[in-house]
Structure 1
């Protein structure tokens, strides 16, 4: 790898970890973060958590783990082209979904609804709880003891949470700041009003690219849409027409893969070119300049951003709200809500979870313990718990 750019994050200049770990003779600090994340229990659980299609729908649909690996690969590729720290970009990408519930976004919506009387649930804050408190592998501390820069990236990869005066920013201006934002252990203030590093921003846009391309792929595989349905869809349409023209006689699955790979490649190339121009125009020279730039610098071009919004609108209408998806969505939401309510009423959870819930000083603390337990479940474990507690199995068909 060539030398990183002046505005890239520098491992040797990291603010460090809450708990001293001593230097490593073979790895940078961000490489150590990446490795800690990969070896965590929460990371392994991702293989049994829904992305869009439930696990039982088929073995070839993406789950949270395969999605995360795809995001990581794209983030690393863009970071390399932009001369950023690849390891930090990868660490943020690998950890960005650690706070997700079972059953994908349906589970998150259900848990947020159940937690409404207790300040709600946010998967990004939950990821911070996972890496700073809930992982309990180490002898000397809770959490993974990640560097400040990785924690900052997990928390702010989608942008600042507050304005300079501390008032909620962006979507939080309407929703309010998520519960737990003021209780994140780190070696230094995570500076909620500043942007995160370019590495974190790269991980965020890699997530968008992965969603666009791979949800198309899974929807085609599930038979919810056909390539013909995509011909006039923004961003994807021109690529579909190109592929059908070049390869009219190849099998549909090969055509679909060709569309997917071209969409990924062109999206990444668009981000690299646009971001390089944004960096030059902003005049940033250091990572602190990036944090104080007052804007996200890793972006799509305006034309691609408009097309991406159109593609997302199509996917929302034709895939995410398709009845074949919504039937299991409604069933899984009921599973999560029923589990939450039963645990709140009985504290009937295994091991330390039940002990902690029974000892909780009030309902707010007990609810957060229950939310931690439910959010950490895999899809199969949630279904097993539902069967244990209610002597029934949800019908996802």
Structure 2
């Protein structure tokens, strides 16, 4: 099912390492198309609609959620993959799955859950995304999880400690052997960065937490803004914002493509295995663009992510998720029946660490608004049935 236009170093059905549980190949789809479709139909994917990117879901209908962010990453990544003649289906599957393990309340929720799990192996959303597709989705008669291909699972796992890598089997080997993932995974990793940096700028301006005037101190933003204002001096603020951001994304994408093509030409990989053997990733920005991008990230960290309003949300997330974790650990009867059963099964297998992992799985799967409602319900015992 692979298109003949794919480059020899692109991932293909023919070179896939297959699935954890053998399945007959689909008749009218490729292996990576099947992965993408399974991800889109998963419960975890639908829940992303109500999970925070930066702003809590109910704070406004126009702010990004994990779902819209994942779609934007997929669009950027697939555009890059097409130019580089990589496998677009694999690229899209990785992009759509990369945030499936995110907690409610974004990174704030992850930090809280990681602290709660400190004595039980910790919590990291990247590993949780893999856990979702390998184990937690329950849709198929013959296996747990989505039974995705090795290449999609590997692409989801962007980073991993040696300790965790040893527990993950084949998909963790590259971290121990210091090998690279597919170019499709490398593209998606940087498409994620392009998307969240620029769209956090958009949401931050719309929310009134940062301003165009503040952003003019960032060279990449100032360059595009001055170009827009020169070409369209009477353009209103809303259109100016959109025009600047789309130009920044385009500039980043073009730089990434040009730089990556040059690196690929120099390395001359003849196969996906040659890509894996490279000492460094072949997909990347130029030195100047990397510097400009880091400057934007530093700005967002200082002026948006540490803004008082965002910090208040972080404190609220910490209070809610800490309470829920303690409550469920103390009394498993507060969990739905299927999660109670899982917690007891994990407890029998792994003791308190198993119990805690089952609780973390349940909390990580929550949407923002469900976590808020559950906190309200359990923090007021008189409302319990």
Q: What's the TM-score once normalised by structure 2's chain length?
A: 0.93
Q: Offset at 1:320?
A: 0.5
Tell me, yes or no, if the aligned pair for 1:128 and 1:184 is still in contact at 8 Å: no
CA contact (8 A) 1:230 1:240 kept: no
Q: Distance in 1 between matches of 2:313 and 2:214?
A: 24
Secondary structure of residue in 2 paired with 1:314: helix
Query: Counterparts of 2:380 and 2:169 in 1: how far apart (Å)?
Result: 40
Matches within 5 A, 1:206-225: 206-225=191-210
Contact 2:97 2:156 in 1 (8 A): yes
**Per-residue deviation, 1:46:** 0.3
For residue 286 of structure 1, report the CA deviation from its aligned partner.
Answer: 1.0
Establish whether residue 239 from structure 1 lines up as the match of residue 241 from structure 2. Answer: no
Structure 1 segment 57-96 matched on structure 2, within 5 A: 57-96=59-98
Worse overlay, 315-324 or 229-238: 229-238
Question: Does 1:351 pair with 2:348?
Answer: no
1:113-128 mapped onto 2 (5 Å cutoff): 113-128=115-130
1:234/1:308 contact within 8 Å kept: no
1:389 Cα deviation (Å)? 0.8
Q: Report if the CA contact (8 A) 1:37-1:94 is conserved.
A: yes
2:249 counterpart (264, 274, 279): 264
Cα deviation per residue 1:190-237 (whole Å; 9 max; x = unaligned)?
Answer: 533321000000000000000111000001100112212111213222
Richer in helix (by share): 2
User: Match for residue 173 of structure 1?
Assistant: none
Q: Secondary structure at the match of 1:191?
A: helix
Q: Give the corresponding residue for 1:284.
A: 269
The aligned residue for residue 174 of structure 2 is 191
Gaps of 5+ in 2: none
Does the 8 Å CA contact 1:12/1:29 hold for their aligned counterparts?
no
Q: Take 1:138 and 1:77, find their aligned partners in 2: how far apart are those partners?
A: 32
1:101 Cα deviation (Å)? Answer: 0.2
Q: SS where residue 202 of structure 2 aligns?
A: helix
Q: Corresponding residue for 2:295?
A: 310
Measure, in 2, the Cα distance between the counterparts of 1:379 and 1:271: 34
Aligned counterparts of 1:242 and 1:113: Cα–Cα separation in 2: 45
| Residue pair 2:174, 2:181 contacting (<8 A) in 1 also | no
TM-score (norm 1): 0.91
Cα separation, partners in 2 of 1:37 and 1:11, compared to 1, 3 Å = same
Q: Distance in 2 between matches of 1:73 and 1:274?
A: 20
Does residue 1:20 correspond to 2:22, yes or no? yes
> 1:391 aligned to 2:368?
no
CA contact (8 A) 1:15 1:147 kept: yes
Q: Which residue of 1 aligns with 2:151?
A: 149
SS at match of 2:195: helix
Structure 1 residue 31: Cα displacement: 0.4
Instruction: Measure the CA separation in 2 of the matches of 1:20 and 1:358.
Output: 30
Distance 2:131 2:220 in 1: 36
Which of 213, 230, 238 is the aligned partner of 2:215? 230
Distance in 1 separating the partners of 2:335 and 2:25: 39
- Encode CA deviations 1:302-339: one digit per residue, 9 max, x unaligned: 00000111110001111010001111111111111111
Asked if 2 retains the 8 angstrom alpha-carbon contact of 1:69 and 1:94, the reply is: yes
* Separation of aligned partners in 2, 1:24 and 1:182: 32
- Three-state SS of the structure 2 residue aligned to 1:235 is helix
How far apart, in 2, do the equivalents of 1:363 and 1:299 lie?
Answer: 42
User: Pairwise CA RMSD of aligned residues?
Assistant: 1.6
Instruction: Please state how far the C-alpha of 1:34 moved relative to its aligned partner.
Output: 0.4
Give the superposition deviation at 1:356: 2.5
Name the residue aligned to 1:320: 305
Shift of 1:358: 3.6
Please point out which of 128, 133, 136 is paired with 1:134.
Answer: 136
Runs (5+) with no aligned partner, structure 1:
163-167, 169-176, 393-397
Q: CA deviation at 1:2?
A: 6.3
d(CA) in 2 for partners of 1:366, 1:325: 32
